[in-house]
Amino acid sequence: MKLPAILSALLVAASSVSAIALQVGAPSTAPGIVDKTYIINFAPGTDGTSIVKDYFKSINVNYTQRVAINTNLASFVSVSVHGSFDQSAHLPGIPSAISFSNVRELKRPQLQALTSNEPPQPELIHSITGVNDARNNLGLTGKGVKVAVIDTGVYYLHPALGGGFGPGFKVAKGYDFVGDNWHYTDAPQPDDDPLDNCSDESHGTHVAGIVAGDGRNITDPALAPTFAFSGVAPDATIYAYRVFSCTGSASNDIITAAIIKAAADGADIISLSLGGGPAYADEAEDIAASLVSQAGHFVISAAGNDGSAGPFVTSNPSNTRDGLSIASFDNVATPAPYVTVDGVKSAYNLGSLSAGKLAEGQVLDVVVNNLLANVNNVPDDGVKPLVANVKGKAVLIRFGNTALGGSKLRCGNAYAAGATACILYAVDENLGGIYGSPDIPSLLITNSAAKALIANVNAGKPAQVIVSQKLFLNPIPTAGTLSSFSSPGLDNELWFKPDLGGIGGQVYSTISPHAAEAAGLKENYASYSGTSMATPYVSGVSALVLQAQGKIQFSELRARLQNTASLKPVYGTNITHNPSYQGAGLVNAFAAASTKTLVVPSAIALNDTVNLKTVSFTITNKYKFAQNYYLNNNPAATVNAVLPGDDFTQDYMTTTFTGTTPASLRFSGDDGYGSPAWDFKLVRVPAGKSVTVSFKVTPPATDPSLYAVYGGYIMWSRNSPSLGQKWLSQYFPSYGSTSTGLYQDQSLTPLTANAVINGTAGAFVLAIPAITSRLATIKAEFQGSDLSEFKKLGITGNSVYLNMSDKLNGGASASYFPVLQRTTFGAAQSVSANTYYKWDGTAVLPDFQTVVQLPAGSYKVIFSALKNFGDVNKAADFDVITTPVFKLVY
């Protein structure tokens, strides 16, 4: 929608979210801020606890200390203040304090569903990521590498996780920052034991198992996994840091403290399967992640599970420059119970209301309710009373359009007709959950299994289903492709995120006995999906790389992982997926650990097309002999994130990918070997030396106003132009100028001169975020000369932020829109849906807490939006719309 189309509302503003200039991180008006709770930063080694205590005593302010950290890397204290408090007046005055920020809520990680719809290509999980090759050919197991898991805690009594805690055990160190009954707004209840046997998901235990679990030598049948199970780096050591209680959210001061403590404890890799919505990388946890990575403790974080919200939604702390942001790719197979039809096994789901239990190996004789339901795509099979004679039999019903009737209705009709079991079949190979009937056993089977049963009936053969409660490895059709839930980039500053991906779709790993009981599982293992699972997978691979290479810099670890990852196509096509979605591709452990060619930087962000320039990278040859490198361009899919006639980023339903007009690339010819500027290049690098290569990208022929995100990969082969190709580095910009501002016509105004606004009735404001601005404010400016009434309210000057109530989500806030997340046309896990606001003539003072009623009189409303890459202190970097003078009355 172009801006004029939304101006039927009284006031319109556009915003994305940004950090406030006067402090680090998001302002107190941002979503998820914990009221009057702050992180106060000092220089490393400073006794912040004593300084804060003395300072608050001197200004007569009561507070509760939440957490304090003082190491050679960082020093900070987080506090909750009681009573009236003006942060802008008091916090800057704390002696020796470097900065302060508001404490934010970080919600508990959510697990994701997996969908798939193509014939399978079965493989084992570690075979498509090079992990098996790294183990078998390089002897790598992660031995000697310490991986910190910052999460819900770990059930370390699990035999696959070593069965104990402390020196000599797999889980050798850790700390509980919060306790079992903590709420994120309260003071924590820490202790030295990070055990979790109370959360229903057992998220941290699952994560730890992916990194370093090992169930291969468990002989007790009651404890052994159904399938041979081992984590990526089974000999790595786990350090467990608990930042979530049994239920509920965490806060970023606790997560920041855990990052610093993990580094201080000597963790080599710090794995964080958590995060908030899209944000700038200047929150406390982002700064901590960057700090410890630079010190040799590498931070690897989940990109997020907001794929449904469309592009530009990677989360923090994964957006930090000195950390890795991890996308998710689907696994090759997942454990599932199965039915057998004509000797072929296929997965099924049992209804949650299903009555009774089917015996192991029970044979069900099947009657088909409608033999033509599948071929005719009948949407309402079984919704009405059944037509077939199903007495004493299991009835097969096509589970079509669920809006016309759910599983409970259809299986209820089966029971009413005398069926002894209800078998619903899906319209494809996807199996979701069903309720079924509380009166008879109810199953959901795949479409292919149903086709086999229908074919038998048509051929006059017996149609039978053999049901098993045992598990088999069910192949996942989308194996090795990007998970639909994985959050795409770019980040808010068009930086390269995510960095690469790991296996995160349907990963089998360890859980606690409590979680198994809560889920109704017979073993302490489960399959979960999310970038939460992909992150420990890459953390495990990183442990293998560090075992092979020893102490290396973060830039080398990133280069090894990105230089060697496997590129994947857009699902269902042969077009290479865009770097802003898959990063460098799916991780390859063997190649990352063994490569002797390094390309740095391994990712190059080109900003937008207005800011395009020639860039370069360096090829380092670690072989004993000179090597020839043949370089060429592999353009990737272009992301069409904005529809024609629309200023705002779309969600996944309308975002499209095209490969017909890719970007082109030209290498420079100034390397001393006589190569002309062209889209391929031969580079000879002496043994142990490096050579720098320059190139420039020409955008695809697309409309600049659509802000397409394009990019690609520079591929190389060593010593032969046709053998051993690997991708080397990726580049991408956004097409068009993302710093030209939102408004096409800045003389536009939704108000006519001398309009009357009735504050009692309220006026509506529509605030819609766009991709061309990163900060927006709406202020009311008094037009009279007598400011005495303003001064009585505590307002300095003649302008003040509007106080607006959210009419869809509830609550009220100042009209200061920070970059924590952009909204979208549909809500996702960490991205909220669009809303609209109501202004009742109230305003918010600069403390962002005190709300006052503006006096009646003449006003203007000023909308300001900071352009991408703009300076908040430069007026020229803002787009501004000012309304005509209007009268505010009550």
What pLDDT, on the 0 to 100 scale, is given for residue 172? 98
Residue 829's closest CA among 203, 306, 247? 306
- Please enumerate in sequence order all residues whose Cβ is within 8 A of that of 788, keeping only pairs 6 or more positions apart, or say none: none
What pLDDT, on the 0 to 100 scale, is given for residue 627? 92
CA-derived radius of gyration, the chain: 29
Residue 337's closest CA among 356, 353, 318, 351? 351
DSSP 429-470: S--------SSS-EEEE-HHHHHHHHHHHHTT---EEEEEEE
CATH of the domain at 681: 2.60.40.1710
pLDDT above 80 for 18: no
Query: What whole-number percentage of the chain has pLDDT above 70?
Result: 82
Q: What does DSSP assign to residue 521?
A: -
Among candidate residues 203, 206, 297, 514, the one labeled active-site is 203
Residues 323 and 371 in one domain: no
What pLDDT, on the 0 to 100 scale, is given for residue 21? 27
What pLDDT, on the 0 to 100 scale, is given for residue 738? 45
Task: Give catalytic status of residue 203 as yes or no.
Answer: yes
Distance in angstroms (rounded) separating the CA atoms of residues 211 and 409: 43
What pLDDT, on the 0 to 100 scale, is given for residue 822? 44
The more confidently predicted of residues 350 and 156 is 156
Q: Are strands 394-398 and 421-425 parallel, antiparallel or unpaired?
A: parallel
Give the least confident one: 361-365, 409-413, 654-658: 654-658
Distance in angstroms (rounded) separating the CA atoms of residues 587 and 446: 31
What's this model's pTM, rounded to 2 decimal places?
Answer: 0.79
Distance in angstroms (rounded) separating the CA atoms of residues 61 and 734: 49
Residues 167 and 215 in one domain: yes
What pLDDT, on the 0 to 100 scale, is given for residue 481? 85
Q: Are the beta carbons of 713 and 567 closer than 8 angstroms?
A: yes
Distance in angstroms (rounded) separating the CA atoms of residues 580 and 771: 15
pLDDT above 70 for 705: no
pLDDT above 90 for 663: no
What pLDDT, on the 0 to 100 scale, is given for residue 826? 47
Q: What token pair was written down for 283? A: 């929150």
For 277-320, the pLDDT digits (tens) are 777 777 889 889 999 999 999 999 999 888 877 788 888 898 89
- Count H helices and E strands in the chain, helices first: 14, 44
Average pLDDT (179-193) is 94
Residues 729 and 756 in one domain: no
For 50-104, the pLDDT digits (tens) are 999 999 999 999 999 999 999 998 999 999 999 888 877 788 888 999 888 889 8
Distance in angstroms (rounded) separating the CA atoms of residues 528 and 335: 11
Query: What whole-number percentage of the chain has pLDDT above 90?
Result: 46
Distance in angstroms (rounded) separating the CA atoms of residues 728 and 859: 58
Helices marked H in 109-251: 131-138, 203-212
Q: How far is CA 73 from CA 288, 298, 564, 690, in A?
A: 9, 14, 32, 33
Residue type, 625: F
Among candidate residues 116, 133, 151, 580, the one labeled active-site is 151
Residues 146 and 286 in one domain: yes
Residues 698 and 759 in one domain: no
- Domain hosting 691: range is 596-734
Residues 808 and 672 in one domain: no
Residues 193 and 301 in one domain: yes
pLDDT above 50 for 118: no
Residue labelled with tokens 């074919």: 455
Q: How far is CA 428 from CA 308, 431, 479, 638, 659, in A?
A: 21, 8, 17, 29, 28
CA atoms within 13 A on the CB side of 102: 25
For 238-288, the pLDDT digits (tens) are 999 999 999 988 999 999 999 999 999 999 999 999 987 777 777 889 889
CATH of the domain at 375: 3.50.30.30
Q: Examine the fold and report which residue of 440, 474, 508 is the final residue of a domain before the chain moves on.
A: 474
Domain count, the chain: 4
Residue type, 338: Y
pLDDT above 90 for 541: yes
Residues 500 and 437 in one domain: no
Classify the C-alpha dihedral 840-846-852-854 as positive or negative. Answer: negative
Q: What does DSSP assign to residue 90?
A: H
Classify residue 774: in a domain, yes or no: yes
Distance in angstroms (rounded) separating the CA atoms of residues 600 and 602: 5
Classify residue 550: in a domain, yes or no: yes
Q: What token pair was written down for 240? A: 């467990």
Classify residue 573: in a domain, yes or no: no
pLDDT above 60 for 17: no
Q: pLDDT category, 585, cuts 50, 70, 90?
A: very high
Classify residue 36: in a domain, yes or no: no
pLDDT above 80 for 829: no
Kindly report the backbone phi and psi dihedral angles of residue 81, in degrees, each rounded to the nearest multiple of 5, phi listed first. -95, 140
Residue 318's closest CA among 332, 300, 336? 300
> What residues are paired with 381 via a beta bridge?
none
What pLDDT, on the 0 to 100 scale, is given for residue 369? 95
Classify residue 78: in a domain, yes or no: no
Residues 191 and 297 in one domain: yes
What pLDDT, on the 0 to 100 scale, is given for residue 333? 73
DSSP 302-317: E--S-GGG-SS-PBTT
pLDDT above 70 for 145: yes
Residue 546: how many other CB atoms lie within 10 Å: 25
Give the least confident one: 3-12, 280-289, 653-662: 3-12
Task: Give catalytic status of residue 315 as yes or no.
Answer: no
Among candidate residues 28, 325, 532, 737, the one labeled active-site is 532
The more confidently predicted of residues 169 and 484 is 169
Residue 486's closest CA among 396, 570, 607? 570
Conformation bin of residue 571: beta by default, left when phi > 0, alpha when psi is -120 to 50:
beta
pLDDT above 90 for 152: yes
Classify residue 305: in a domain, yes or no: yes
Helices marked H in 520-649: 531-549, 554-564, 579-582, 589-594
Q: Examine the fold and report which residue of 734, 756, 785 is the final residue of a domain before the chain moves on.
A: 734
Alpha carbon 647 to its chain's center:
24
Give the least confident one: 204-208, 400-404, 430-434: 430-434
pLDDT above 50 for 748: no
Classify residue 107: in a domain, yes or no: no
- The H or E element spanning position 519 is helix 513-519
Average pLDDT (14-18) is 29
Over the chain, what is the mean pLDDT? Answer: 83
Q: What does DSSP assign to residue 252?
A: H
Average pLDDT (133-161) is 97
Distance in angstroms (rounded) separating the CA atoms of residues 255 and 272: 9
Residues 184 and 325 in one domain: yes
Q: How far is CA 669 from CA 170, 679, 681, 711, in A?
A: 53, 11, 8, 22
- The H or E element spanning position 284 is helix 284-294
Residue 520: how many other CB atoms lie within 10 Å: 8
Residues 285 and 378 in one domain: no
Q: Are the beta carbons of 43 and 96 closer than 8 angstroms?
A: yes
Q: Examine the fold and report which residue of 474, 490, 524 is the final residue of a domain before the chain moves on.
A: 474
The three-class DSSP label of residue 610 is helix
Residues 257 and 300 in one domain: yes
Q: What token pair was written down for 263? A: 């580094």
Residue 394: how many other CB atoms lie within 10 Å: 27
What pLDDT, on the 0 to 100 scale, is given for residue 711? 81
Distance in angstroms (rounded) separating the CA atoms of residues 802 and 859: 12
CATH of the domain at 304: 3.40.50.200
Q: What does DSSP assign to residue 165?
A: B
Task: Give catalytic status of residue 297 as yes or no.
Answer: no
Classify residue 590: in a domain, yes or no: no
Q: pLDDT category, 2, cuts 50, 70, 90?
A: very low
Percentages helix, strand, coil for the chain (3-state, rounded to 5) are 20, 30, 50
What pLDDT, on the 0 to 100 scale, is given for residue 168? 96
What pLDDT, on the 0 to 100 scale, is given for residue 651? 63
